[in-house]
Amino acid sequence: MSAPLLEVTDLRVSYGKVEAVGGVDLVVPEGSIVTVIGANGAGKTTLLNAIMGVLPSRGGVRFLGESRDAAPLESRVAAGLCLVPERRELFSGMAVEDNLALGGFLRTKAQREESLAEVFALFPRLKERRRQIAGTLSGGERQMLAMGRALMGKPKLLMLDEPSLGLAPRIVADVFAIVASLRAAGVSILLVEQNARAALRLADHACVMELGRITMRGAAAELAADKRVVETYLGLG
């Protein structure tokens, strides 16, 4: 059996004396979608930022079979780890195409052009608006741009933080369809999402995070049928 793409062991993150993430173990098998669901303030975003190297942490982070515990953010990106943050964090005063180009800054010009063609095939709307200023895009288009910029670097693991946040239901469906197509194209995904119903429907494996700890884990379909998950996160819909 091959080693997992990402393996997190006993990961801990503190803000002063407050432990926001406490002893998290997490595995992302290659070619899969793993989702972490939970309420606001559960520590989900902090977990992703620690894995990415944005926040200091204690514990183990292994990616592609190598320890990344002390690796700076830049080297994690170069290895194929990429995070699309909750706030998108686009360069609002720059054109769509320039934002995308920055996502492939570590690659050659030919590789960037190849990736740009792939991103435009995945997001035709971005191709239509390639010269439009990013700050003038709609919420859905900004999310597409954030994902497209991440894909410019050809990540092996794409971490998505609340990709449906603030989007209309129709656009949410489009975003999740794109996430499914990325997995079909061989991109592994770690998805943090408050829309638990959609996330569990899409994912292969799932974890429930509460107060900085993983309290449940298993196949996504099993968690979607679990009585406590239904009552707490899915409601009766």
Task: Quote the CA–CA distance of 139 and 137 in Å, as a whole number.
Answer: 7
pLDDT for 236 = 52
Among 154, 177, 204, which residue terminates a domain?
154
Same domain, 75 and 132: no
Q: Quote the mean pLDDT of the chain.
A: 91
The DSSP string of 83-112 is EE-TT----TTSBHHHHHHHHTTTS-HHHH
* Residue 60 in domain: yes
pLDDT in tens, the chain (237 residues): 567 999 999 999 999 888 999 999 999 999 999 999 998 889 999 999 999 999 999 999 999 999 998 888 889 988 999 999 887 788 889 999 999 999 888 788 899 899 999 999 999 999 999 999 999 999 889 988 999 999 998 899 999 999 988 888 888 888 899 899 888 888 999 999 888 999 999 999 999 999 999 999 999 999 999 999 999 888 754
pLDDT for 57 = 93
Provide the domain limits for residue 25: 6-80+156-234
Among 133, 154, 175, which residue terminates a domain?
154
In this structure, which amino acid lies at residue 171? Answer: I
Q: Is 137 helix (H, G, I), strand (E, B) or coil?
A: coil
Q: What is the CATH number of the domain that holds 64?
A: 3.40.50.300
Same domain, 70 and 170: yes
Same domain, 103 and 218: no
Same domain, 101 and 145: yes
* Residue 86 in domain: no
